[in-house]
Amino acid sequence: MPRKEASDLVLRARIALERLRNGERDRPLINVALQVTIITSFITRAGHGKLDIDVLNKVKRDLEAIVVEADNSETWSVPRKLIGDLTAVINEYDRQICVTRMEIIVRASNYLDKLCSSDSDLHPRREGDRQVVR
């Protein structure tokens, strides 16, 4: 992937991380973090990862738990430890985007799209409710 396009993708993730690190909390930021984690996990499972899959699975579970908690209590709580783990995920995402064949990245993106559409099929939302950021 050309470095300019890769940089644009990674910049979005790094901005979300910095906003989370600075105390901002909302669904779009968590969605970006989840998307990056899912794509990084897919690419890792395809044999192009250096980060342990258990770390990726834990980050995904922790991010999903934040969304569930926020849905139930309207409180967005992101532990400091998760920020550290998420930093490792975003660093790996950055590396993967630059060195992985485009075919694998496209498959990862298609997988994410399927997850997002099946999530919306399973959980219909009213106008103005939760939205998955793409």
Task: List, for residues 44-97, the tens digit of each pLDDT value.
Answer: 999 999 999 999 999 999 999 999 999 999 899 999 999 999 999 999 999 999
Q: Domain residue spans in the chain?
A: 3-122
pLDDT at 132: 39
40-59 as b/e: b if 16+ CB within 10 A: bbbbbebebbebeeebbebb
Label residue 7 by pLDDT band (50, 70, 90): confident
Average pLDDT of span 98-120: 84
